[in-house]
Structure 1
Amino acid sequence: MRHRAIHALFALAVLMAGTAGAVGASGKASTADHSKFEELAGPFDSGPAVTRACLKCHTEASHQIMQTRHWTWDYANPATGQRLGKKTMVNAFCIGDQSNEPFCQSCHIGYGWKDKHFDFSDASRVDCLACHNTGEYTKPFGFAGNPVTVRSEYPPGSGKFVEPIDLAKIAQAVGPTRRDNCGACHYYGGGGDGVKHGDLDSSLNTATHALDVHMDKDGLNFRCSTCHVSDQHAVAGSRIAMTAADPHPALLRGEKSERNPAACQACHGDKPHKEGLLAAERLNAHTDTLACQTCHIPAFARGGVSTKMAWDWSQAGQLSAEGKPFQKKDDHGHVIYDSKKGAFVHGQNVTPAYQWFDGRVTYTLLNDTIDPTTRVPINVFHGEPGAPNARIWPVKVFHGRQPYDTERKTLLVPNVAVPGDTSFWYNFDWSRALAAGAEATGAPFSGKYDFVDTQMLWPITHMVAPKEKAVACHECHADGGRLAGIEGVYLPGRDRSPWLDRLGWLAALAALLGVSLHAIARILTHLRKED
């Protein structure tokens, strides 16, 4: 009873926190009205000018930010020994940001990262508005993470103009982080809405209960920070080093712990099912084998926004009869070919793939030798079947085709997005684009290249469906079910063992006999009482 009471109180506290957070977003619960601060009156001619004003009150904010991965894009994984981070890693989508910084770094929480000489120690370069604006703030591609304060033509000579924004107005309306703050980057990774993750896209800004029970705009209305709790601006939860299993009860609100507060078990515990004693016990027995997400996220990309399932860079560079780049779209309006990027495959309401996962992830890095005769894994999710620290997880399996050095057998990062003679989007010359990318990364390039098939895995952990829409028993416990290829677990309905089948039938018959005898005994007892 005591544990049930604690869990109930914890759930109530989370609900209250979600409500309070919603009020805070409108500013009604805040103790400060930023529109009255003289320091924020402006006008501001740059992002750093705003930050310098913020730091007059929030004196430690930049220092805290500069210790985080959101700032450094750099991480030494103690579990694998790999040096990771967005600024040096390779992916199967846009491939890499090196040589493309002015374009890609619009999603960095800083100002002015245009090349490898960016000053990570300059406190004024921290972008407070990226996470705390409440609307109208933009950092367009191509401006190295800087907001536009003067009407600017981009790309140069294109006749297309980016209009300026009023930084003072935006700074005077700051507030707690919201889903659309985080989503401005995390929804749009890979160059478009929903491209990378599959379980993160703009539909979550106005999520219904059917799409996500936690972010339901008319229900709990969680912010990202409700689960991804921050401590001195360091945000919990990362796909680079994940918590795959957490066999512990729920954390008390405010409890200091080494556990990951973004894990499901932090709120729900590892035995979350309560309704119906027998059913709850049977369902709770699954938590030693399955991740919560495996049952509770039956499909991803469910909000009406498609996700990319494949990207073939080798098709890029085709031009029209007039020598111009072009796009093709499918019947749903999705771009399936772009001269700048190649060919795509989209998916909606996608059933995840499943695999054993213990939280360890290793990556193929720029200096790693690859085998081009096989599909190259950009990342590998590790986990031994049946291991106590592993669970069966849902994943998005993404297929790419991207350039590699045919002599050195290493992956290559192309210069694609920055206007100039070496940029693929402006010259459609792979040799020059790859040479420029190699120079930026510091990796040798033989000058010879081809394209190799790749694969990248993405954990599925958002878009939690209502419990009534959870994966049904028969979807796994059947021949050809969701877990058809999963080893290390005996799955009734899928697997066959004559002795186990006999024991199962005997147990079922014994249960039936017991129930029948009990019913007969009750009837006889009732008849005797009537006599």
Structure 2
Amino acid sequence: MRKLKFRSIILFFLALCVLFSGPFELFAAQTANEEQAPGRTMAQQATKKNQLWITADHSKHAILQQEFTAGPQVTKACLSCHSEAATQFHKTIHWTWLDPNVPPQERVGKAGLSINNFCIAMPGSYPRCTSCHAGYGFKDMSFDFSDQTKVDCLVCHEQTGTYKKFPAGAGNPAPKPMVFKGNGKTYFPPQWNKVAQSVGRPTRKNCGTCHFFGGGGDGVKHGDMDSSLMKPNKELDVHMGLDGKNFDCVRCHTTETHRIAGRTYATPAATDRKSLVEDDTIAKITCESCHTATPHKAGEKPNDHTDKVACQSCHIPEFARVNPTKMWWDWSKAGQKKDGKPFKKKGEFGKPVYFTLKGDMSWGKNVKPEYDWYNGSIAAVTANDMVDPSKPIQINWPVGSQNDPNSRISPFKVHRGKQPYDKINKTLLIPHLFGKKGSSAYWADWDWKKALESGSSKAGTKFSGEFDFVETSYIFPITHMVAPKDKSLTCTECHSKTDSRLSNLKGFYMPG
């Protein structure tokens, strides 16, 4: 009898455990959720569904079974179903390479008169630069931008990973096995049917094929974008890490009618800072889009910074954390030879610190950004604008101020160097760099004056015939390579009387 009573008591308590286990688990989950910063909770909700439902298998489409021998043939087949795609794409900056929000006569953009201090400008080296154009045959400005079949659908959408453009093919892949003298590699024609039938949503590899290799090599330009982001871990980038969220670029660079959010010239990539809570149709291009403007726990001091400090300033402590990025490029030293031949000297990162074709260079890893006020717009000079060569020239610079409510203290890579300018007209010059011997290209004929005359002629700009070299700087906003939260900056990195990261910013009070 006692045993039966004891068993009854045990069963009663077990029943209570079962009855209340649900509420206890819910309470525990709620408690855990309350301990998590709301910005993280919001981001998890905004991105919780990574699986995209695909309703078409392109390998089964009859029109893609035909034998293709060239890219425009594939594009024509694509357009037979995706009838509006080329019309949409023709309106984007990926096609025009010109800022759509600036009067066309000002020609702001890569296909115009915009200048940088890497390979300087596209008009001097069309087929080399336009190997990254999402089209076929952009060898000069006679290119027919209205031809829909010239759109290269495959460079953004093929998923075999085998599709490659020839490095000096003006956007075309190699029509037959061809060796590119610049790197000694052999390029083969694509397996057109295989790549055409593989198409899907763009991945990091599609975007990175061009954007990770801007400036002629891996990580040369941006500092926060290089081949390490093809398959990163979350220590390098918490959003793109394979062991983290494993985001593709288009997860944040959202797209509408082929217009990809994120490109910055005079117009900001985002004109407001709304979150998905406020408007679920916005592009997810800002941190606030997913994390809101108060991402930290209630009452925590970092929430008081978000109206003045960009999230990236604290959460990207260094850039180029795996691969080095170029920090200095002196064109005035180009042209030196050994035994009458061009030569290359490598430095500590295995990267060239001198190259006959390009001059002196230096590289950096784990580079601390420089900081400035930034409202999302970048101003710049073009090859038509007068400059002051008596001091280093800012080719581009962030727009913003502490009194601008849209401005935040933001991180930048600043690339510095020396490049040619016109001593009489006081303008930056565009050299003709890539070409065959006898074409006046600098990399073939080694004559700066002829190269500058030819480049100016191609660009339609003036050249007095007198030139020298001037120091310049060029900025890139740092937005990728977001580190884990335990690697974000501590307060004293900025709030310090000595060695503050913000020591160059003046005119306002900052504790510490």
* Whole-angstrom distance in 2 between the partners of 1:201 and 1:430: 31
Q: Choose the corresponding residue for 1:436, options 454, 459, 462.
A: 454
- Mapped to 2, the partners of 1:475 and 1:414 lie a distance apart of 42
Deviation digits for residues 364-420 of structure 1 (CA, Å, limit 9, x no counterpart): 111111111111111121222343221111111110211111111111111111224
What are the within-5 Å matches in structure 2 for residues 85-234 of structure 1? 85-88=109-112, 89-134=114-159, 135-154=161-180, 161-234=186-259
Cα deviation for residue 160 of structure 1 reads 7.1
- 2: CA distance, partners of 1:327 / 1:411: 27
Deviation of the 1:174 alpha carbon: 1.3
Say if 2:345 and 2:353, in contact at 8 Å, map to a contact too.
Answer: yes
Partner SS, residue 124 of structure 2: coil
Q: CA deviation at 1:162?
A: 3.1
Q: Partners in 1 of 2:213 and 2:373 — Cα distance? A: 28
- 1:205-257 CA deviation, whole Å, 9 max, x = no partner? 11111111100112211111111100000011123146499875521498234
Evaluate the alpha carbon distance shift between residue 328 and residue 397 of structure 1 in structure 2; reply closer, same or farther with a 3 A threshold.
same
- Please give the secondary structure, in 1, of the residue aligned with 2:341: coil
Aligned to 1:467: 485
**Which residue of the partner structure matches residue 368 of structure 2?**
351
Quote the Cα distance in structure 1 between the aligned partners of 2:177 and 2:398: 46
Aligned equivalents of 1:314 and 1:38: distance in 2? 56
Partner residue of 1:454?
472
Structure-1 separation of matches of 2:463 and 2:88: 38
Query: Structure 1 pair 80/399, CA: closer, same or farther in 2 (3 Å)?
Result: farther
The reply to whether residue 58 of structure 1 matches residue 87 of structure 2 is no
Give the C-alpha shift of residue 81 in structure 1. 10
Q: How far apart are residue 447 of structure 1 and its match?
A: 1.5
Q: Report the aligned-residue RMSD.
A: 2.6
Provide the identity percentage. 46
Does the 8 Å CA contact 2:236/2:481 hold for their aligned counterparts? yes
Residue identity matched to 1:15: T
Query: SS of 1:52's equivalent?
Result: helix
TM-score by length of 2: 0.87
Distance 1:151 1:5, change over 3 A: closer
Q: How many residues align?
A: 475
Partner of 2:94: 70
**Separation (CA, whole Å) in 1 of partners of 2:190 and 2:253:** 30
1:19-60 CA-to-partner distances (Å, cap 9, x unmatched) read 215xxxxxxx42222222222224322111110111111111
Bigger mean CA offset, 380-389 vs 399-408: 380-389
Unaligned regions of 5+ residues in structure 2, if any?
Answer: 1-29, 31-35
Residues 327 and 364, structure 2, Cα contact 8 Å, conserved in 1: yes
Contact 2:263 2:269 in 1 (8 A): no
The SS at the match of 1:74 is coil
The corresponding residue for 1:300 is 319
Corresponding position: 1:425 with 2:456: no
Deviates more, 1:8-17 or 1:44-53: 8-17
Corresponding position of 2:401: 384
1:441 CA displacement = 0.5
TM-fit CA distance, 1:112? 0.3
1:251 aligns to 2:288 (yes or no): no
Aligned to 1:413: 430
Partners of 2:268 and 2:219 lie apart in 1 by 23
Partner of 2:3: none
Distance 1:245 1:437, change over 3 A: closer
The answer to whether the 8 Å contact 1:243/1:263 transfers is no
Q: Is the 8 A contact 2:101 2:267 kept in 1?
A: no
Contact 1:149-1:166 within 8 A present in 2 as well: no
- Aligned-pair CA distance for 1:190: 0.6
2:506 maps to 487
2-structure distance, mates of 1:295, 1:123:
44
Q: Distance in 1 between matches of 2:460 and 2:37?
A: 58
Match of 2:295 among 250, 272, 275: 272
Decide whether the 8 Å contact of 1:10 with 1:253 is kept in 2: no
What code does the residue aligned with 2:235 have? Answer: A
- One-letter identity of the residue aligned with 1:11: A
Structure 1 pair 478–246 and aligned structure 2 pair: CA distance change class (3 A): farther
The 1:243/1:264 distance shift into structure 2, 3 A limit, reads farther
C-alpha displacement at 1:153, in angstroms?
5.0
**1:263-318: CA deviations, max 9, x gaps?**
111111111112xx43x2x110011110111111101001x211001100111111
Aligned to 2:47: 15
